[in-house]
Structure 1
């Protein structure tokens, strides 16, 4: 039996069972000059903060709505209440029982109608901010004919910020379905469809059930921590007297001089589902998901920092045998995090809101050739030369 002090220490380490934070994917953690705190701005309960080094989630305030995971461009936050796979499965079941209509409802509204709707026909989420385009498009690719998103009185709801996220997702989904010529309407409504209602009344205590589920999740997480502690103690790798491991402040740079890349799983699932739906029209689409990077060659100082910090390698460095250098841009991998815009020292980058729909599936790449850097690396003058190049002036002196 663990000592009380051990239990208190473990509880202090407890994270929200509803959200996993992948610090290495966060654009702000990767580069403090990035301009992104979308997760904190959209968080329906105010449980997310940034301490100057990493994202912090307060488990006692997190309601598990998953809105932060929807708005995060790099999936630095991963929702587990429910998981993406479980939510897709529940939506497929809803479509099967509702003759092609996927019905998803916000928790507060459905809790009020707990004895009047069929839980298999109407999928419950804490907030509609949990619904994203990859979920909807997967449903469309698997034969669903429409999506019905049920919400309560959002103006009076403590978690009203999730509504704005849901509306933006609906707009993006409609733009994609129009480009792909797929009749898949997505509508927001306050009414539970008649076909989703129960034919007989079922009595149960919804609040008590929710409390038991939440308590079970916290207990499972605490149990996992206890098990990890016990194993580490048995193997001599830690325990009560072990010094806490230092917090990793920096992400390791790879051999090519860039930070590690990661294309979000949700983005890959979305592209796979769009491919299943066929070829889109040759049109441009403006959505919250993709951007097209435009680099002004006259202003660019060839530092390639945009590629160094790009989280998905949508911007990638190249160097030809003849010494030609530059950056390749693949719009399909761009997650519109705008890190490149924020950190460019010469303001040479602009992110276009529109991309060609066909480019998203074809993986088209744009090449930006850059002027050679007049810098000799590994010399006492390297920093001075870099400063002159980045500031575009020779009025920088060594002392």
Structure 2
């Protein structure tokens, strides 16, 4: 980072104050829909007898408790143990736990120690689950609400018990996402394309649902990583939405630059652990004067850092930021940091190829103020466009990216019309092997983004590059393996228009003259089906349209039918 004088530091401090005041004046986000949980206090405690029974006695005063003992335990009968705990006691091994606060479904295999009745009942529904297993039965980075894994630590057990006692009634949380099915590139015709959201989710809230996905709002914890990795914008974050974050970025950076600030760095951090870490470093700086948050760093609190991605990072650069840093702590799941790292690589590739000097993106991983201080001292300080952008961030991710890329290209120090991108980029083209392509149009039917289109009244395959999200459905669907993905960013006029990738002469039915395919398609069919029983000896049928083919088959059947002949008359 370029060192600054004491006077410049004071000026940047004033500019930063102006930026934070401008942020405070941005209208608050619109309210979002909510998700409701209902709990009646039906609680299942899972663990060894010596651990579970004392907690059951404690919690049974406020909750309806059932205990599932997973070890051999004492020789007492289930009835005797139930009397000790003041609740129903079962014995068995947990096979499955699924659900959330107010709607847990638990399946277990009864052990020999249980009664006959208990052996027959291996399922139950509960509102709350207290898991005392050494290894948690739900191993997700963010387990569902209503599930507590306390292990065998007394302090953790008592903390969980206090929280459980308060979880009776109705509870609400925001519905963190919007989902537009028509944009989803997950699957077509049972062929999988994009799985980015499913692979990234740390709560198992997203699952395949035919050609689309299903997001269970009760399991979603609002990390927003799915919206960051979604290439099409089918999943968008709602708490708050991208336009709201965009308004904040634009207001802050405009105020900072107008008031003489230089090299602004946007630091996205979480409202919880990230905010705590920043406050600790700020207090440390006010004490010793040697540390603290640098004046050029503008902190931006968000619900979760994984919800901010390439569209908003590039928007910040377009608005005049010299860099964007994302602070991750021990809150974020490992796959979130990996996803953010991949997105930053894509973002930096675009900026570097357009000639913007220096590094612009940084993924900071810190758990102490000292680590954060060190990382901020060497935070990115790249070149920004000479003229800040005036556009607003759109609700649609791809629209925002169109605005951002257009602005960055127009003001780029080195304009390159074609930028090769790493695999996994949400931008690109496709290459078609014309010798193999039969123009069957399977790829057109599979494309969820209208990037591939037919020629309407002509045998053509057309392509609009700016619509392509590189989901790979066309490549996987093509029966001739004639399509290859080409990840890249194109700034040409042709990339915004429909261009012809392949075309052929139409083939006309030899019986009625109606066009029904292409010359290459018919030639391939003739070659592949010449030995097929339905066409052997009747290859001309392959040169007929569907209607004429049926007529020809029926005509030949009538010609070849067997008629009954009268026997010759016997002489008198």
TM-score, length-normalised on structure 2? Answer: 0.48
Point out the structure with max Rg over C-alpha: 2
Stretch moving more, 274-283 or 62-71: 274-283
Distance apart, 1:332 and its partner CA: 2.0
* Aligned-partner SS, 2:453: strand
Pick aligned residue for 2:355 from 181, 184, 195: 181
Greater shift after overlay, 22-31 or 82-91? 22-31
Q: What residue in structure 2 maps to residue 104 of structure 1?
A: 268
Structure 2 spans left out of the alignment, 5+ residues:
1-36, 39-101, 104-171, 283-292, 377-393, 535-552, 554-572
1:266 has 2:443 as partner:
no
Residue 179 of structure 1 deviates from its aligned partner by 2.3
Q: 2:182 aligns with which of 21, 24, 37?
A: 24
Matches for 1:286-365 after TM superposition, within 5 Å: 286-287=421-422, 288-319=425-456, 324-355=458-489, 357-359=490-492, 363=496, 365=498
Matches within 5 A, 1:270-281: 270-277=401-408, 278=410, 280-281=415-416
**Is 1:285 aligned with 2:420?**
yes
What CA distance in whole angstroms lies between the structure 2 residues aligned with 1:347 and 1:192? 49
Equivalent pair of 1:275/1:361 in contact (CA under 8 Å): no
Q: Cα–Cα, structure 1 residues 62 and 188, in superposed 2: closer, same or farther, change >3 Å? A: same
The aligned runs of 1:190-201 (5 Å cut-off) are 190=366, 191-192=371-372
SS in 2 for 1:149: strand
What is the TM-score when the length of structure 1 is the normalising length? 0.66
Shift of 1:108: 5.1
**Partner-residue secondary structure (3-state), 1:313:** coil
Equivalent residue pairs, number: 312
Equivalent residue for 2:236, pick from 78, 84, 91: 78
After superposition, give the CA deviation of every residue in 1:340-369 in whole Å (9 maximum; x if it has no partner). Answer: 0111121111112335x4337852654223
Paired residues of 1:74 and 1:311 also in contact (CA < 8 A): no
The 1:106/1:359 distance shift into structure 2, 3 A limit, reads: farther
Aligned to 1:113, what secondary structure does the other structure show?
helix
CA distance in 1, matches of 2:522, 2:174: 44
Given that 2:432 and 2:502 are in contact with CA atoms closer than 8 Å, whether structure 1 keeps it comes out as no
Kept after mapping to 2: 8 A contact 1:16/1:58: no
- Counterpart CA distance in 1 for 2:447 and 2:527 is 24
Distance 1:360 1:143, change over 3 A: farther
Residue by residue over 1:46-92, the C-alpha shift from the partner in whole angstroms, topping out at 9 and shown as x without a partner, is 21111336422222321111111121222221211221112223334
CA distance in 2, matches of 1:15, 1:372: 59
1:370 aligned to which of 489, 503, 514: 503
CA contact (8 A) 1:331 1:359 kept: no
- Which position in structure 1 is the counterpart of 2:343? 169
Residues 1:152 and 1:392: Cα distance change in structure 2 (over 3 Å): farther
The answer (yes or no) to whether the contact 2:188–2:211 under 8 Å persists in 1 is: no
**Higher strand fraction: Structure 1 or Structure 2?**
2
RMSD over aligned Cα atoms: 3.9
Secondary structure of the 1:135 match is helix
| CA contact 1:27–1:36 (8 Å) conserved in 2 | yes
In structure 2, what is the Cα distance between the partners aligned to 1:174 and 1:23? 30
In 2, the alpha carbon distance for the partners of 1:392 and 1:81 equals: 58
Decide whether aligned partners of structure 1 residues 364 and 80 sit closer, same or farther in structure 2, where only a CA change above 3 A counts: same
Structure 1, unaligned runs of 5 or more: 1-6, 197-262
